[in-house]
């Protein structure tokens, strides 16, 4: 039986998928909200990958062990594994000088990754007294150790043409995303990471406070970097993203003859900046907009480990970090093994199991019913909406009953407390590394409830 949402009303069933285009496979991909892009077989409505077993007449299909996104006939599995396209791509990546398996993962000794389902199960195994004690501990730790986060919604004159929509019309323009991008770079300028006045202020005095390159982590389509190029004249661009995207900023950036662009299709966990030949000898800015869960920790480790590892070989022609601006999000995906400042948490008496419970609670900040999937979806901010606690259901017992009895606003508040503690540890880690750092709210919550920005600059 499905669970009713927090307001007591059941959501209407999702609409049926539209019919596929003529000649296309009828298999519906729910995560992509579209049909399979392959052509259907002449004798079927489906392509070879999605042909039902009953219709294939050729045996059972199994998931490819190299790339779980597709299936293959079990009888052909051994031959397919040797020629799977992903295997070739992985082999090509492993040959790159900037690839180092797990270099930013936090180390194997730090433990394995924990799924959201496992986090939830661990919470539900607590006794009622243990659960209430954990909530009290979170409130106490937050009051004692969480950094005060100030609002800093800054739009500079340099971003006027983006805020006014006066950009290349081939570039997708969405006001809420542009407002976030503009405020991130506005905070970077105010913090001294970008020259005042943007690209129009290039002169001998101002160049000293600007970086020569930008590395965007979790770059997606790369439009945060596009703002820096258009408004601040950044000329050396490196986009780090493990996924493939359409409608990227790359096309527009490559048309700019003054810009050198390199897109690196790699997981941040495996990236060694020292291996990027074109970055050597340059001071750079590290940026990221909505770095999901552990991606923030791995980005900080990636950049600051390079700063620490100053061997004679690396000092020769080395690059250097000028500063960073990382918009965090999806704290429910954070992992103990990746988290940068475990000593901060253990010093507060927070165990690995309690940390994972906190990450699970953190989604209450943006999803009061806690039913969102692991992948982040921006939702309408409801933190100011006052709702009454749900009426007790006699069929629900234990932890679920306690959770449902907590008013939505209070659950959201607890979720934000967990986010505050997690990001405070990151902030203090940056300061421990010798950076001047701050944690700010860079856009109002009605633009995005994921509105935290870690910003820092090197002093040497």
The tens digit of pLDDT for each residue in 232-254 reads 888 999 999 988 877 788 888 88
Predicted pLDDT of residue 52? 72
Average pLDDT in the 11-16 region? 69
Q: Which are the contacts of 398, defined by CB distance < 8 A and separation ≥ 6? A: 124, 128
Rounded to whole angstroms, the Cα distance separating 165 from 288 reads: 22
Q: Which two tokens stand for residue 100?
A: 């180092």
Closest CA to 417 of 225, 211, 184, 134: 134
Report pTM: 0.77
Closest CA to 430 of 317, 333, 328, 332: 328
Q: Which residue has the higher pLDDT, 194 or 368?
A: 194
Question: Please, are residues 434 and 394 in contact by the beta-carbon 8 Å criterion?
Answer: no
Closest CA to 286 of 276, 275, 296, 274: 296
According to DSSP H, which parts of 157-222 are helical?
Answer: 160-163, 175-190
According to DSSP H, which parts of 384-435 are helical?
Answer: 398-405, 408-432
3-state class (DSSP) for residue 325: strand
- Cβ burial of 339 (10 Å; 0-12, 13-18, 19+) is buried
Output the average pLDDT for the chain: 81
77: confidence class by pLDDT, cuts 50, 70, 90: confident
368: confidence class by pLDDT, cuts 50, 70, 90: very low
Predicted pLDDT of residue 394? 45
Predicted pLDDT of residue 317? 47
The pLDDT of residue 55 is above 80 = no
3-state class (DSSP) for residue 214: strand
Radius of gyration, CA atoms only, the chain = 24
200: confidence class by pLDDT, cuts 50, 70, 90: low
Average pLDDT in the 296-305 region? 94
171: confidence class by pLDDT, cuts 50, 70, 90: low
436: confidence class by pLDDT, cuts 50, 70, 90: very high
C-alpha torsion 397→398→399→402, nearest 10? 70
Residue listed under structure tokens 């009290």: 136
39: confidence class by pLDDT, cuts 50, 70, 90: confident
């Amino acid at each position: 039986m499905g669970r009713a949402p927090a307001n007591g009303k059941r959501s209407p069933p999702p609409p049926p998928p539209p019919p596929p285009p003529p000649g296309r496979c009828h298999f519906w991909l729910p995560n992509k909200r579209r049909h399979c892009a392959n052509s259907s077989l002449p004798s079927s409505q489906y392509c070879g990958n999605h042909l039902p077993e009953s219709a294939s007449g050729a045996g059972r299909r199994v998931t490819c062990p190299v790339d779980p996104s597709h299936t293959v006939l079990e009888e052909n599995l051994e031959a397919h594994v040797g020629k799977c396209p992903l295997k070739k791509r992985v082999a090509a990546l492993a040959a790159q000088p900037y690839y180092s398996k797990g270099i930013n993962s936090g180390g194997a000794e730090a433990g394995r990754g924990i799924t959201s389902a496992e986090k939830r199960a661990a919470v539900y195994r607590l006794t009622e007294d243990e659960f209430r004690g954990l909530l009290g501990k979170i409130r106490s730790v937050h009051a004692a150790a969480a950094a005060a986060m100030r609002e800093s919604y800054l739009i500079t004159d340099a971003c006027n043409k983006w805020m006014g929509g006066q950009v290349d019309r081939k570039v997708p323009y969405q006001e809420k995303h542009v407002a976030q991008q503009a405020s991130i770079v506005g905070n970077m300028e105010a913090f001294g990471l970008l020259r005042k006045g943007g690209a129009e202020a290039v002169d001998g005095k101002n160049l000293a406070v600007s970086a020569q390159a930008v590395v965007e982590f979790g770059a997606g389509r790369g439009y945060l970097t596009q703002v820096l190029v258009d408004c601040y004249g950044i000329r050396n661009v490196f986009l780090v993203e493990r996924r493939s995207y359409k409608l990227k900023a790359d096309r527009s950036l490559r048309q700019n003859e003054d810009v050198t662009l390199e897109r690196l299709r790699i997981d941040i966990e495996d990236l060694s900046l020292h291996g990027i030949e074109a970055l050597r000898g340059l001071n750079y800015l590290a940026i990221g907009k909505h770095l999901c869960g552990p991606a923030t920790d791995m980005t900080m480790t990636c950049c600051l480990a390079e700063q620490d590892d100053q061997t004679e070989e690396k000092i020769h022609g080395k690059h250097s970090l000028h500063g960073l601006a990382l918009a965090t999000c999806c704290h429910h995906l954070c992992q103990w093994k990746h988290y940068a400042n475990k000593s901060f948490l253990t010093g507060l008496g927070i165990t690995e199991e309690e940390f994972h419970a906190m990450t699970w609670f953190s989604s209450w900040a943006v999803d009061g019913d806690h039913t969102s999937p692991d992948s982040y979806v921006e939702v309408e901010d409801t933190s100011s909406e006052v709702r009454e606690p749900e009426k007790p259901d006699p069929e629900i017992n234990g932890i679920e009953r306690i959770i449902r009895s907590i008013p939505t606003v209070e659950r959201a508040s607890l979720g934000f407390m967990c986010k505050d503690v997690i990001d405070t540890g990151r902030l203090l880690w940056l300061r421990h590394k010798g950076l001047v750092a701050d944690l700010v709210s860079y856009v109002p919550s009605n633009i995005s409830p994921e509105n935290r920005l870690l910003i820092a600059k090197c002093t040497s």
